[in-house]
Amino acid sequence: MRTLKLVAVSAGLSSPSSTRLLADRLLQAARYRLAEQEYAVEVEVIELRDLAVDIAKNFVTGFPSEALRTAIDTVTGADGVITVTPVFTASYSGLFKSFFDLIDPAALTGVPVLIAATGGTARHSLVLDHALRPLFAYLRAAVAPTAVYAASEDWGSGGDEYTEGLPARITRAGVEFAELVAARPDRADEDDEVVPFEKQLADLRFD
């Protein structure tokens, strides 16, 4: 049985936080779908608030702490990544952006990523397509079609005949993300090494 590793990155600042709650719900939906397909699933959640000082020191010194290096390796080694950020000033949080600024631009190439955000009002929902999706497109990740935004009022609403509720959006996003994860080849089976273009040029020999 193939074992898949899912990692959620939560940029919530409080404990408990709605950001972490959304991350847990999305992980649960994806894990349930993969279990239906008879995959073994390992899950891990990275709380960025616990790494805030380490992230700041990395920018000053240029060197990650052991805890930060472990977190980065965990994200880049996952079969699928769920990212959830609170919205500040109509965009992702500075802590969230700073963490992903430390990840090599090629490290998430082709990795399925599910984007999500939380905020106090539904007016900030466009952050998903105006900020988060371009960020992970730059990192060349395979971003899941459905993104999830949860405003404060969404947590107590199951939706109606005109509006899809938060539980349904979480389920749909989790299923789509799980399908991307399941369809991606096992990293251990990827025999073709990607050689950077600079190295290819350096290796050229002219007669």
pLDDT digits (tens, 9 = 90+) for 82-127: 999 999 988 999 999 999 999 999 999 999 999 999 998 888 899 9
Q: pTM (2 decimals)? A: 0.87
Instruction: Evaluate the omega torsion of the peptide bond into residue 112 and state whether it is cis, within 30 degrees of 0.
Output: no
DSSP tag of 143: E
pLDDT at residue 153, rounded to an integer: 87
CATH code of the domain containing 52: 3.40.50.360
End-to-end CA distance of the chain: 51
- Out of 51-55, 119-123, 192-196, which region has the weakest mean confidence (pLDDT)? 192-196
Of residues 35, 9, 4, 5, the one with CA closest to residue 22: 9
Q: What residues make up the domain containing 145?
A: 3-203
Q: Using CA of residue 10, residue 12, residue 16, residue 18, what is the dihedral sign? A: negative
Residue-wise pLDDT for 113-163, tens only, equals 999 999 988 888 999 999 999 999 999 999 999 999 999 888 876 655 446
State how many domains the chain has: 1
Where b means 16+ CB within 10 Å and e means fewer, 124-151 reads bbebbeebbbebbeebebbbbebbbbbb
pLDDT at residue 127, rounded to an integer: 94
Q: Number of H helices and number of E strands within the chain?
A: 8, 7
Helix (H) or strand (E) holding 175: helix 166-183
